[in-house]
């Protein structure tokens, strides 16, 4: 767990004198809270009774606005007793920038912590490209805790003249950091992100061959063409993807296609494979 600092610094290293000061500060804070506890209980108890009565007597359609107004009063009362945001801690994120997460939370040091809405903050966080899911908690009296589950990059998607990053679920992450993931396979074509996870899961059965795939092109929203690092293009059929991949692996191995001047291996027909040689020998053979 780390601190999402309001000024982008982490907590200072502890020293003996610093520890003593903190211990003294903690004791002073505890004393302060003990003195304020009766007042806090009275304020919250009174506001709770008023809130209950208002909700009971309010006409339909007016409950929400009355409740919001009373809760704002509770938040301000709590702030007067020291219940304000002082720390934001987080865990689970690497690619997502702390400054972006803190800005998305839309909270500042000193804000009434009871006025902070964890559910709304969670919805905002889950709209950030790298964030797959988030948990946001208020930890009274002064701390907000955030747990992030990040998206896992799968491929680079080329479309509409730009390249973006997509995750294991086929969800687009963004384009700002594609250079960091230049070693990922490239997928091309409309609808490619949604279908790529299934394709990659099949290709993982022959990892040594999958590692040589540099791009996968979605053709007509129905099937895939694969390009390997030797320049060989493999045309896969619309149906029977798993069988076609195993068949492709066997033909490449048995005929040593990566060592031959073959530019196309067409597997769209189930009972035959067509080979096309490099332009210098531009003839076609059927096996």
25-49 per-position pLDDT tens digit: 556 555 655 565 555 555 555 445 4
Quote the domain boundaries for residue 169. Answer: 153-286
CATH number for position 23: 3.10.20.310
Kindly state the tokens that stand for 214: 């540099």
Same domain, 141 and 158: no
Same domain, 185 and 122: no
Same domain, 57 and 139: yes
Cis peptide before 141 (omega within 30 of 0): yes
Phi, psi dihedral angles at 217 (to 5 degrees): -105, 125
Same domain, 29 and 136: yes
Of the candidates 150, 176, 202, which is a domain's last residue? Answer: 150
**Residue 95 in this model has a pLDDT that exceeds 60:** yes
Cα–Cα nearest to 156, from 173, 140, 144, 169? 173
Of the candidates 150, 175, 190, which is a domain's last residue? Answer: 150
The strand pairing partners of 224, in sequence order, are 218
Of the candidates 113, 130, 150, which is a domain's last residue? Answer: 150
Same domain, 132 and 246: no
Cα 134 from Cα 120, distance rounded (Å): 11
Phi, psi dihedral angles at 132 (to 5 degrees): -85, -45
Indicate the pLDDT class of residue 78, thresholds 50, 70 and 90: confident
Same domain, 276 and 174: yes
Kindly state the tokens that stand for 9: 């610094």
Phi, psi dihedral angles at 126 (to 5 degrees): -75, -5
Q: Which residues contact 77 (CB under 8 A, 6 or more apart)?
A: 43, 44, 47
Same domain, 7 and 124: yes
Percentage of the chain beyond pLDDT 70 is 73
Domain count for the chain = 2
CATH number for position 190: 3.40.50.11690
């Amino acid at each position: 767990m780390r601190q999402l600092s309001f000024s982008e610094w982490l907590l200072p290293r502890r020293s003996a004198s610093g520890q003593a000061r903190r211990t003294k500060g903690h004791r002073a804070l505890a004393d302060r809270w003990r003195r304020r506890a009766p007042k806090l209980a009275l304020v919250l108890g009174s506001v709770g009774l008023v809130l209950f009565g208002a909700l009971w007597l309010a006409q339909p359609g007016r409950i929400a606005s009355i409740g919001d107004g009373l809760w704002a009063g509770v938040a301000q009362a709590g702030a007067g007793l020291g219940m304000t945001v002082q720390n934001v801690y987080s865990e689970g994120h690497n690619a997502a920038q702390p400054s972006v997460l803190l800005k998305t939370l839309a909270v500042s040091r000193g804000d009434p912590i009871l006025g902070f809405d964890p559910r709304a903050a969670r919805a905002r966080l889950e709209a950030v490209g790298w964030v797959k899911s988030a948990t946001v908690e208020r930890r009274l009296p002064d701390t907000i805790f955030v747990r992030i589950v990040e998206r896992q990059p799968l491929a680079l998607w080329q479309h509409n003249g730009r390249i973006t990053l997509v995750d294991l679920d086929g969800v687009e992450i963004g384009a700002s950091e594609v250079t960091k993931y230049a070693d990922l396979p490239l997928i091309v074509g409309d609808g490619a992100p949604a279908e790529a996870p299934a394709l990659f899961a099949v290709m993982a059965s022959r990892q040594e061959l999958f590692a040589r795939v540099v791009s996968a092109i979605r053709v007509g929203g129905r099937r895939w063409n694969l390009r390997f690092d030797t320049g060989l293009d493999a045309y896969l059929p619309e149906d029977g993807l798993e069988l076609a991949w195993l068949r492709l692996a066997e033909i490449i191995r048995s005929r040593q296609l990566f060592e031959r001047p073959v530019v196309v291996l067409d597997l769209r027909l189930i009972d035959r494979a067509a080979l096309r040689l490099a332009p210098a020998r531009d003839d076609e053979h059927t096996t």
